[in-house]
Copies of this chain bind each other. A is one copy, B any other.
Amino acid sequence: MATLQVPACVPSPAEDSEQLKKAFEGWGTNEGLIISILAHRNADQRRLIQQTYAETYGEDLLKALDKELTSDFERALLLWTLHPSERDAVLANEATKRFTSSNWVLMEIACSRSSHELHLVKQAYHVKFKKSLEEDVAFHTSGDFRKLLVPLVSAFRYEGDEVNITVAKREAKILHEKVKDKHYNDEELIRIITTRSKAQLNATFNQYNNEFGNAITKDLKADKDDEFLKLLRATAKLLTFPEKYFEKLLRLCINKLGTDEGALTRVITTRAEVDLHRIKEEYQRRNSVTLGHAIQKDTRGDYEKLLLELIGHADA
Q: A138 on the interface (CB 8 Å rule)?
A: yes
> Do residues B139 and A158 form an inter-chain contact, with CB atoms below 8 A?
no
Asked if B196 contacts A130 (CB within 8 A), the reply is no
* A221 shortest CB reach to chain B, Å: 26
Question: Is the beta-carbon distance between A160 and B126 smaller than 8 angstroms?
Answer: yes
Q: A131 an interface residue at 8 Å Cβ cutoff?
A: yes
Stretch at the interface among A26-34, A148-156, A210-218: A148-156
Contact check, B154 vs A134: say whether CB atoms are below 8 A apart: yes
Residues of B within 8 A of A135 (CB): 157-158, 195-197
- Residues facing B in A112-137 (CB within 8 A) are 119, 122, 126, 130-135
Q: Is the CB of B130 within 8 A of A155?
A: no
Contacts of A226 in B (CB 8 A): none
- B154 & A130 in contact (Cβ 8 Å cutoff): no
CA distance A135 to B201 in the complex (A): 12
Give the residues in chain B near A126, CB-CB below 8 Å: 156, 158-160
Q: Judging by beta carbons under 8 Å apart, are A197 and B162 in contact?
A: no
A298 part of interface (Cβ distance < 8 Å): no
How many chain A residues sit at the interface, stated as a range, is: 20 to 34
Task: Find residues 148-191 in chain A having any chain B CB closer than 8 Å to their own CB.
Answer: 150-151, 154-160, 162, 187, 191
Determine the residue in chain B with the shortest Cβ distance to A125: B158
- Report B-chain residues with C-beta under 8 Å of the C-beta of A157: 132, 135
Asked if A146 is at the interface of the complex by the 8 Å CB criterion, the answer is yes
Closest beta carbon of chain B to A109's beta carbon, Å:
14
Partner of A132, one of B132, B146, B197: B197
Q: Shortest beta-carbon distance, A147 to chain B, in Å? A: 8
Inter-chain CA distance A151–B122, complex, in Å, is 15
The reply to whether A156 and B130 form a contact with Cβ atoms under 8 Å apart is no
Q: Are A158 and B138 in contact (CB under 8 A)?
A: no
Contact of A195 (CB < 8 Å), options: B134, B158, B159? B134
Cross-chain contact B119 with A132 (CB below 8 angstroms): no
Give 27 pairs: A residue, B residue, CB < 8 Å, sorted on A.
A119-B119, A126-B156, A126-B158, A130-B160, A130-B162, A131-B158, A132-B158, A132-B195, A133-B156, A134-B154, A134-B155, A134-B156, A135-B157, A135-B195, A135-B196, A135-B197, A138-B191, A138-B195, A139-B191, A139-B195, A146-B187, A146-B191, A150-B191, A151-B151, A154-B154, A154-B155, A154-B156
Chain A interface residues (CB < 8 Å from chain B): 119, 122, 126, 130-135, 138-139, 146, 150-151, 154-160, 162, 187, 191, 194-197
List 4 other contacts, CB 8 Å, given A135-B197, A151-B154. A126-B156, A126-B160, A134-B156, A135-B196
Closest 7 CB pairs of A and B: A154-B154, A135-B195, A132-B158, A138-B191, A122-B156, A138-B195, A134-B195
